[in-house]
């Protein structure tokens, strides 16, 4: 299946794209997908992940999701 990965702010800079489509399997987790498609990327403890526009666990399979977004920490007022 295909999944769209969206990146914002520093994650866009780190990965070099704002949105890109990748092949994946329903039993893969966001962490596994990123280890495969961007092995240099380390989300650390501050980057959150959203699956189909809902915050998700990095280690929960994506099922039949169509989108993963990386949500960096936000500052401002």
What's the CATH number where 22 sits?
A: 3.10.20.30
Q: Please return the burial class of 37, using the count of CB atoms within 10 Å of its CB with bins 0-12, 13-18 and 19+.
A: middle
Does residue 76 form part of some domain? no
In a domain, 58, yes or no: yes
- Structural domain of 34: 2-71
Q: What is the pLDDT of residue 22?
A: 96
| 24 domain-assigned | yes
- What's 54's DSSP letter? E
Rounded Cα distance, 10 and 27, in Å: 28
Q: What is the pTM of this model?
A: 0.89
> Which regions in the chain score pLDDT beneath 50?
77
Residue 48 forms part of a structural domain: yes
Q: Which pLDDT value is given to residue 73?
A: 87
Structural domains in the chain (count): 1
The answer to whether position 27 is within a domain reads yes
């Amino acid at each position: 299946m295909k999944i769209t990965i969206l990146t914002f702010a520093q994650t866009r800079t780190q990965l070099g794209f704002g949105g890109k489509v990748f092949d994946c399997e329903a039993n893969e987790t966001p962490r596994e997908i990123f280890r495969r498609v961007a092995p240099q990327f380390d989300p650390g403890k501050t980057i959150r992940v959203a699956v189909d526009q809902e915050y998700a666990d990095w280690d929960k399979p994506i099922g039949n999701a169509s989108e993963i977004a990386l949500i960096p920490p936000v500052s401002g007022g």
